[in-house]
Amino acid sequence: MTDTDKPAPTFATRNAADPAFWDERFEQGFTPWDLGGVPEEFRQFIDSRAPCPTLVPGCGNGWEAAWLFERGWPVTAIDFSPQAVASARRALGAAGAVVQQGDFFAFTPQPPCQLVYERAFLCALPPAMRAAYAARVAELLPPGGLLAGYFYLGETKGGPPFAMPADELEALLAPAFERLEDRPSAAPLPVFQGQERWQVWRRRAG
């Protein structure tokens, strides 16, 4: 049976704020947001700087975290779905040691992070949680710290993934962050409908 012949998966949980929502999808291997590797913009970004403590929230299978680990970066990857954590540890071998089960809104990495990598996490959160996301990233990063990654921008309704108008992202982050980079993703996944952008934001002082 080919992938196109397989019946569509069915899920009991519809609340993306519930770990069980994501457990079901990892259990059934339904992860269309998973690139299965490390995207090019992220590689270039990392190659241009020295290692620093990095947090990868909502890491899923954690490919980028494993790649950082293999390059000697101090990295912690978290996901609140036990099945996501188990999947990452199966996929990553020794590098799976950097993956922990944790709730981004309560987890405090040690040492404190200087970089937060965003990929398919903010857009996985119900829109009502966006303000809390922005506040938590601002709490975690020191002045000069960076939030870098991919943001799903647009007017698409429904989700996850939940698209966000560009001006809404600006309103969320600009009070605490200055945007340094903004360009279309070189290899957007189909689930993001060509609306994913690579951005880098720097934590303002104060």
Give me the residue spans of the domains in the chain. 39-203
Q: Where are the alpha helices (DSSP H) in 93-163?
A: 130-140
DSSP 8-class letter at 117: E
* Cβ(52)–Cβ(75) below 8 Å: no
- Which of 156, 153, 157, 160 shows the shortest CA–CA distance to 199? 153
Q: Which amino acid is at 131?
A: A
Cα distance between residue 130 and residue 133, in whole Å = 5
Give phi and psi for 189, each to the nearest 5. -75, 150
Helices (H) and strands (E) in the chain, counts: 6, 7
Domain 39-203 sits in which CATH superfamily? Vaccinia Virus protein VP39 (3.40.50.150)
The answer for residues whose C-beta is within 8 angstroms of residue 47's C-beta and 6 or more apart is none
Per-residue pLDDT of the chain (206 residues; tens, 9 = 90+): 444 455 667 766 666 766 766 667 767 776 666 667 899 999 999 999 999 999 999 998 999 999 999 999 999 999 988 888 999 999 899 999 999 999 999 999 999 999 999 999 999 999 999 999 999 999 999 999 999 999 999 987 777 899 999 999 999 999 999 999 999 998 888 878 889 999 999 999 97
pLDDT of residue 37: 81
Q: Would the pTM of this model clear 0.75, i.e. be above it?
A: yes
End-to-end CA distance of the chain: 57
The answer for residues whose C-beta is within 8 angstroms of residue 199's C-beta and 6 or more apart is 148, 149, 150, 151, 179, 181, 182
